[in-house]
Structure 1
């Protein structure tokens, strides 16, 4: 173990080498950075029994990573999302607006966005979240929150890891919501059956 004695170049080299190898948690202690309880940065593991936290050596969410994600999303939207899908880039919101018509001939406009961790989808039209707020449709029954966000996973408020998964699940949700709107149970959820 060696304490960081101000050699930022060595820390940078360790991180950059790990990123080049795509190895966020190096097994070799000499190629690892840890942090002690007091905030002290170590190169390697301490020799005493001091508890340390491992540092994830992967890249910070830099502009390059964001532009790669956006480029991949643009390719997906252009080739697999409905014609007319639009990327909205406003100061408070960035994401994909798209419209679909379900097998029940119901029209939905949806908005998929990356929240910094995952992709979530918000219902734009029809304004069904008002029915949730009024208690006409239960949030659990319709898998729709009062703010218009669709429940896309088992974890409350969670989305999906990719735009593709968020988009495809939102289309399935829209069909299921059509059943709910017609007085039936949501057909694509095991609970409540």
Structure 2
């Protein structure tokens, strides 16, 4: 079979690694190039004519990951919900995750490092403005109040994630018409 009909994965690997080692993102030699067709076909060497083709940039697949992020990515992969995704956007870098609270309500949260601590924002359900910051430990911008410390975050991703799960069950109690159960700041509301 010709290259046009079938591509050898080992050959693809060798072409890409060779280009990366040489620092050649767009090789001139057709034998050292990879091209992709409009339906996802991958070609090496001679390519079919008369079809729309796209050249492949042969540079290294890489993410800018710092030491803390490497540890966080590893921890998140093992300890956060299977649906957790690391989001890297110019406006946000962090982990989006969904889970069911102990009361069965679905929650989607976004945990991120703000330069000082880990913050968590509530994505769904939209509850901002339904309960006050004191009553629900939820700021008007959707950020959870996870501590008394300035900034209201947690020192690690693990602590931010776990406290956000606990917060969700506390919010379920608030939505049922009762005071937030997990804070001494709300004890007077129970008449304790």
Question: Above 0.5 in TM-score?
Answer: yes
SS of residue paired to 2:135: helix
Q: Superposition RMSD on alpha carbons, in Å?
A: 1.1
Aligned residues: 123
Give how far 1:160 is off.
0.4
Q: In the alignment, what sits opposite 2:126? A: 127
Q: In the alignment, what sits opposite 1:152? A: 146
SS of residue paired to 1:95: strand
Give how far 1:156 is off.
4.8
Task: Specify every segment of 5 or more residues in structure 2 that has no aligned partner in the other structure, as ranges.
Answer: 1-64, 188-192
Equivalence map 1:144-183=2 (5 Å): 144-183=138-177
Task: Specify every segment of 5 or more residues in structure 1 that has no aligned partner in the other structure, as ranges.
Answer: 1-65, 132-136
| Aligned equivalent of 1:140, options 134, 138, 146 | 134
The answer (yes or no) to whether the contact 2:137–2:145 under 8 Å persists in 1 is yes
Give how far 1:144 is off.
0.2
Give runs of ≥4 in structure 1 deviating > 3 Å. Answer: none
Q: In the alignment, what sits opposite 1:84? A: 83
SS of residue paired to 1:110: strand
| Aligned equivalent of 1:189, options 180, 183, 187 | 183
Larger Rg: 2
SS of residue paired to 2:111: strand
SS of residue paired to 2:145: coil
Post-superposition Cα deviations, 1:113-168, rounded to whole Å, max 9, x if no partner, equal 0001110000000000132xxxxx12101000000000000135320010000000
